[in-house]
Chains A and B, each alone.
Chain A
């Protein structure tokens, strides 16, 4: 089915470890986003990519890096995981200037111990 695919679905890391969350969309969308969701906090934007080759910081970028590998793929990297990064991470995409609705992936539940 068309949509946004995130891997892995679950991950446990030790403090200081690194990992990359993968996201791919097959809808030919221009823009892609990474959000984190914490209880009672709603979703907060970490980084976004308006189009292939560009990335920008969102509301909570510290401790993260991103790569827009091509039009389909947008990865999120934690270089040195901290317990405060325990969260559910969502990738989303949208079709740029003429479309406002986002399509979300099913999320990655990350626990840092």
Chain B
């Protein structure tokens, strides 16, 4: 079963606009991560936010986490055509000695030039 669910499933915006994607999850977590996947490629780690953090920034990315609502958002500011990709949230939870991630089904972002 999937832990995180992204919303919307697809998003289309103009270059220069901001893009916001949301993620909801069901059980307690240690951390939440966002990944990007370009078409035909593997996933690339973007940012990690821990359960005791509320907001984190990395370049044009801003991630928020609300553990009371079990939700997170990813904001990409001043989007570029190169930001076109699928974006996945993943929730992390310890399982013995391994860090396991559970992925959502993703948001397909299209940035139009």
Contacts and interface: CB of A to CB of B under 8 A. Distances in A.
Chain A interface size range: 20 to 34
Contacts, number: 67
B98 A102 contact: no
A43 B101 CA distance: 10
Interface in A8-53: 31, 35, 40-45, 48-51
B20 interface: no
B100 A48 contact: yes
Contact of A100 (B99, B102, B104): B99
A103 interface: yes
Nearest to A31: B98
Contacts of A94: 99
B103 A43 contact: yes
B31 interface: yes
Contacts of B2: 41-42, 44
B93 to A, nearest CB: 10
Contacts of B30: 100
